[in-house]
Each structure stands twice: as C-alpha cells, then as structure tokens.
C-alpha cells in the first residue's frame, strides 16, 4: 500500500474513533427529575438540576463487572449547602455492592466535602472524606474509579486519593460478583449533608446545577449472564487495568492527599468502633 494511502487510512480510523467516543445519548438514560436532567450538544454534555420540588438523576444503560471509569464533573457553584451530587457504581438488593463518590455542598466560600464509601454484600460504613485542593465548581475535573479483582482505587485528576484492597482471605467482603451500573443524581439532603444538617438548603439560589462531560469506561460489560472480557478476565486481553496497582509514585501522591486533605477516616474512628477497628483497617492485604 502506498504511503499516502496508509496516511489516509490512519487519519480515517482516527476520525472514526473520535466520532464514536462515549456519548450520553448512547450510554446513559435519564431516570428521574421530570425534565430537570438534560443531555446537550448531541450527547457530549449532561446537566442535572435541583429545585425545591425535585432533584434529578441518570444511570448507565450497561452493567459492568470491573472497569476503569472516568467522568468529568463541574459541581454546583456558590451556596450549595444541603445539596449532594452523587456519582457511583451500584448493584441492586439488600446485599448490594456499591462504590461511591458523593460531593457534599457547603455555604459560599467553604470547601466541598468529597465523601467516599465502599459497600460489599450490603455492608458499608467504610467512609473516608476529603476536601479538595482546588475549587470543583470553577471548571471540570476528572473523577475516576478503578475497580479490578484485586483493588478499588478512587482518583481525582489522575491522583489516587483512596485504595480499598481485596482482603477476602481475611474475611473482608469485596465487590467482585455483582455487576453494577453507573448512577448519578443531584438531590436535597439538608438533614445531614452540610455540617451534620445544621446548614439548610437556601432555595433562593435554586435551581442548582451540576454538569458532566467526557465519560469514559474501559470496562467489562455484563450482558445476558456473561462478561465482554470472558469468563476469566485478564490483562492479556489488552485490559491492563485488570491487574493495575499503584506504583511507588502513585502511593506517594495518595499519601500526600491523605495527609493534607483527608478530613474523616473510619479507620481512625476508635469511638465509633469500641470493639475494635474493622479488619481491613488493621491488617495488610
């Protein structure tokens, strides 16, 4: 093949890949809000809004069993006290699995609280909370969940903030058998979200709006009882994230975040666990 033809084919394929990237129209369904959730710009953008009558939400059309998932969010600006923007993976039922990002609003000038949690077999209570090192309302930032059979890693703009390792060998449940959808919602939680419920939602600032773009999922899609990655997914299939772990530089960045920006860690809450901290807090994987 002539070099000019190769160049043409390369450009064509690159263009095809660019035009078939993730799209909110294709990948998500608005599930509630009576028009308060909107997909815009031919599926490139999505917004959720909240007023005194209702919030809004959406969910992925696909279910996933492991994945490396990114979403860019720009949070509710100004006085967001009482509001919660939730972005998470979850299965259904009383023994569900769940991997949570929740952004707890605050009064103008006060930082958001980024709340994380992991549920396995219906058991959660694994909260870690952070303030961010930037204003998440001024621009879009990338919030990522790496979920593979060995670990779950929460990251912000590529910087890991939390790792939850598979410690099933020590009796700690780990989400690995239940396919999960991606969900997001914007809702009023002024009974607990801001300063334990002491600061209420100021509805004179409504509607409150959160914005989304650039969803990306390198993931094993679960459909009709089987995984797109096969029965025994491995990195040999080209999914390096399936065996991904934090290298020394990433661990150092995570330590920096946890030292400087963590505001709550269940593993340090001795008063909450008078009979002893959970196993995953005191053991190594």
What distance in Å separates the CA atoms of residue 203 and residue 246, rounded to the nearest whole number?
43
- Residue 99, strand partner residues: 89, 118
Q: Are 195 and 113 in contact (CB under 8 A)?
A: no
Please name which of 52, 69, 59, 68 lies closest in space to residue 24, comparing C-alpha atoms. Answer: 59
Six token digits for residue 150: 């060995």
Please name which of 233, 208, 205, 210 lies closest in space to residue 220, comparing C-alpha atoms. Answer: 233
Which residues are designated catalytic?
98, 102
What distance in Å separates the CA atoms of residue 105 and residue 86, rounded to the nearest whole number?
11
Q: Report residue 243: phi and psi, to 5°.
A: -120, 10
What distance in Å separates the CA atoms of residue 212 and residue 281, rounded to the nearest whole number?
34
Q: Are 115 and 248 in contact (CB under 8 A)?
A: no
Six token digits for residue 99: 């991997």
Q: Are 239 and 218 in contact (CB under 8 A)?
A: yes
């Amino acid at each position: 093949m002539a070099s000019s033809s190769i160049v043409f084919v390369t450009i064509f394929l690159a263009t095809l890949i660019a035009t078939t990237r993730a799209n909110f129209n294709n990948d998500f369904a608005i599930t509630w809000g009576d028009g308060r959730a909107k997909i815009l710009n031919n599926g490139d953008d999505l917004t959720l809004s909240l007023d005194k009558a209702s919030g809004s939400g959406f969910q992925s059309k696909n279910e996933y069993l492991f994945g490396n998932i990114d979403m860019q969010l720009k949070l509710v600006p100004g006085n967001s006290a009482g509001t919660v923007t939730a972005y998470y993976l979850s299965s259904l039922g009383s023994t569900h699995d769940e991997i949570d990002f929740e952004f707890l609003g605050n009064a103008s000038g006060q930082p958001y609280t980024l709340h994380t949690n992991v549920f396995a077999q219906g058991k959660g209570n694994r909260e870690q909370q952070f303030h961010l090192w930037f204003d998440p309302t001024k621009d879009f930032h990338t919030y990522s969940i790496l979920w593979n059979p060995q670990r779950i890693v929460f990251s912000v703009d590529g910087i890991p903030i939390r790792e939850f390792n598979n410690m099933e060998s020590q009796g700690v449940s780990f989400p690995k058998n239940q396919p999960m959808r991606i969900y997001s919602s914007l809702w009023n939680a002024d009974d607990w979200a801001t300063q334990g419920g002491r600061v209420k939602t100021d509805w004179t600032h409504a509607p409150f709006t959160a914005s989304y773009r650039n969803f990306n999922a390198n993931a094993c899609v679960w459909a009709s009882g089987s995984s797109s990655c096969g029965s025994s997914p491995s990195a040999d299939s080209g999914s390096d994230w399936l065996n991904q772990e934090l290298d020394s530089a990433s661990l150092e960045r995570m330590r920096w975040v946890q030292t400087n920006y963590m505001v709550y860690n269940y593993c340090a809450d001795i008063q909450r666990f008078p009979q002893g901290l959970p196993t995953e807090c005191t053991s190594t994987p």
